[in-house]
């Protein structure tokens, strides 16, 4: 009789990092990096809106757009991502809005978090649970995930802008960020 092994897909990793990593802190003087993709125009609009708000608070902003992830282009994307991460102080990675997009968003967010950056992944509501599951399986169960409504990309720009405005301060909370110096003596 032969013996077989059944693997438990729900097992917890022994090397899991349950911490969200460092807070973003005061954003003035820091470079906030947005990771974009080729799919979601609504994420482009929201990241542009948030970037303007970060700039107004004294931060600089950088964008990087990912592309294909296989073959030579995939190798180039991995190299570009690592270069991008060395040029920023805070990472905002989006958009988890479909299965593969959620996978790559979380994978890139884990890469940023593993590089020691304050990192937040952005997901839409339908993909929140999946994003957390992928983060857990990737060894970063504490990864910060900020959730936007779903559907998002199907909305008009004005509607998306309103959503971006409504989520800006909650995003700061998720990031552990602030726009001004706290007056702790008060």
Domains of the chain: 25-177 (3.40.50.2300)
- Give per-residue pLDDT as tens, 4-55: 887 776 677 899 999 999 999 999 999 999 999 999 999 999 999 999 999 9
Buried b (16+ CB within 10 A) or exposed e, 40-77: bebbbbbbebbbebbeebebbbeebebeebeeeeeeeb
184 vs 159: which has the higher pLDDT: 159
């Amino acid at each position: 009789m032969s013996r077989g092994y059944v693997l438990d897909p729900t097992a917890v990793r022994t090397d899991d990092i349950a911490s969200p990593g460092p807070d973003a802190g005061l954003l003035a003087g820091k470079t906030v990096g947005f990771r974009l993709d080729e799919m979601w125009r609504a994420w482009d609009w929201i990241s542009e809106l948030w970037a303007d708000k970060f700039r107004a608070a004294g931060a600089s902003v950088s964008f990087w757009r990912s592309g294909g992830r296989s073959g030579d282009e995939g190798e180039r994307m991995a190299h570009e991502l690592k270069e991008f991460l060395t040029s920023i102080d805070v990472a905002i990675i989006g958009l988890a809005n479909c299965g593969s997009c959620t996978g790559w968003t979380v994978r890139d967010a884990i890469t940023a978090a593993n590089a020691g950056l304050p990192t937040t992944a952005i997901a839409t509501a339908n993909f929140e649970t999946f994003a957390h599951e992928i983060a857990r399986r990737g060894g970063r169960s504490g990864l910060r995930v900020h959730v936007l409504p779903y559907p998002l990309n199907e909305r008009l720009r004005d509607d998306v802008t309103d959503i971006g405005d409504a989520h800006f301060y909650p995003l700061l909370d998720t990031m552990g960020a602030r726009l001004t110096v706290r007056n702790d003596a008060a």
